[in-house]
């Protein structure tokens, strides 16, 4: 039976109890409005752990003042049905009162990694992510936590947070799940008009083209970046936020393509900001 827990105290009690019984706790933090990308993380957690907790919480501290916090899509009853079908045991569904009570004042900042790519276009975003994830880790006390590769920078920051704060949680990154035309699954895809949705496939097309260039021996990040930008620009309504070609661990811009390299893209299609990435070798 799927249990919904809404308070920090009850969630902690549940997890402490499960741990005492020697059960491994798998944790998938989400902001709800679940799609196949989330379900891939959740199904993996269900396969690998004795008990799985999925949190659903749209975290206000990771949204900028001009971002989509209010209109972020929500559908708890649909999410709940999907989680029941997937065999999840527990949903942690707290209110903002529970997570950030009056007078809340403590934030976590993972320096360096948080300042580049999405961090430079969304100042404070990763401080909000690191803070909520650290809090959720303290409340859910998982053994294993699952994140999607689509948010590549986020999973890197969480890994660093876990290492630096000695949290002893195994972080697992699950490959991006894509629509038929290659668009990465995202709750924000629901904002796209039919035409924008069609145009959004240019993101993965441009990165696959970059992959082909690398495979054919092109070693200049500059050339690859230019090729990606040129392809993205074929869509008029698209605005490029960044196209980055960087080290998969430090996120530093590569001077030459060598070994594993991350190609990461962020664009606006209309008002919707979409991100995606691939790793080329």
List active site positions: 38
Q: Give 140 or 245: the residue with its C-beta nearer to ligand PAF.
A: 140
- In contact, 171 and 134? CB cutoff 8 Å: no
Whole-angstrom Cα distance, residue 255 to residue 245? 9
In the complex, least distance from residue 159 CB atom to ligand PAF, rounded to whole angstroms = 13
At 173, phi and psi to the nearest 5?
-105, 130
Q: Give 172 or 227: the residue with its C-beta nearer to ligand PAF.
A: 172
Mutual orientation of helices 8-20 and 125-140 as an angle, nearest 10°? 50
Q: Give 174 or 232: the residue with its C-beta nearer to ligand PAF.
A: 174
In the complex, least distance from residue 31 CB atom to ligand PAF, rounded to whole angstroms = 4
- In contact, 140 and 156? CB cutoff 8 Å: no
In the complex, least distance from residue 196 CB atom to ligand PAF, rounded to whole angstroms = 21
Residues that bind ligand PAF (CB under 6 A): 29-31, 59, 62, 129, 132-133, 151, 154
Whole-angstrom Cα distance, residue 99 to residue 97? 6
SS3 185: coil
Q: Give 151 or 196: the residue with its C-beta nearer to ligand PAF.
A: 151
- In contact, 110 and 14? CB cutoff 8 Å: no
In the complex, least distance from residue 75 CB atom to ligand PAF, rounded to whole angstroms = 15
């Amino acid at each position: 039976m799927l249990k919904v827990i809404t308070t920090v105290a009850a969630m902690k009690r549940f997890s402490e109890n499960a741990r005492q019984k020697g059960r491994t706790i798998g944790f998938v933090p989400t902001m709800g409005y679940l799609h196949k990308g989330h379900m891939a993380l959740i199904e993996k957690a269900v396969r690998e752990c004795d008990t799985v907790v999925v949190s659903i919480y749209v975290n206000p501290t990771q949204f900028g003042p001009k971002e989509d916090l209010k209109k972020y899509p929500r559908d708890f009853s649909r999410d709940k049905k999907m989680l029941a079908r997937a065999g999840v045991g527990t949903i942690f569904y707290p209110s903002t009162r529970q997570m950030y009570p009056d007078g809340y004042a403590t934030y976590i900042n993972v320096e360096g990694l948080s300042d580049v790519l999405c961090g430079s276009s969304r100042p404070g975003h990763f401080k909000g992510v690191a803070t909520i994830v650290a809090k959720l880790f303290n409340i859910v006390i998982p053994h294993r936590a699952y994140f999607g590769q689509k948010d590549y920078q986020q999973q890197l920051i969480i890994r660093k947070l876990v290492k630096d704060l000695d949290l002893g949680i195994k972080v697992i990154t699950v490959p991006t799940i894509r629509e038929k035309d290659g668009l990465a699954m995202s709750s924000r895809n629901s904002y796209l008009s039919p035409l924008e949705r069609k145009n959004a496939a240019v993101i993965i097309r441009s990165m696959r083209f970059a992959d082909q260039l690398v495979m054919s021996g092109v070693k200049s990040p500059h050339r690859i970046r230019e090729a990606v930008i040129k392809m993205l620009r074929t869509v008029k309504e698209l605005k490029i936020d960044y196209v980055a070609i960087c080290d998969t661990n430090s996120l530093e811009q590569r001077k030459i393509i060598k070994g594993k390299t991350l190609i990461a893209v962020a664009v606006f299609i209309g008002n919707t900001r979409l991100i995606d990435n691939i790793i080329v070798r």
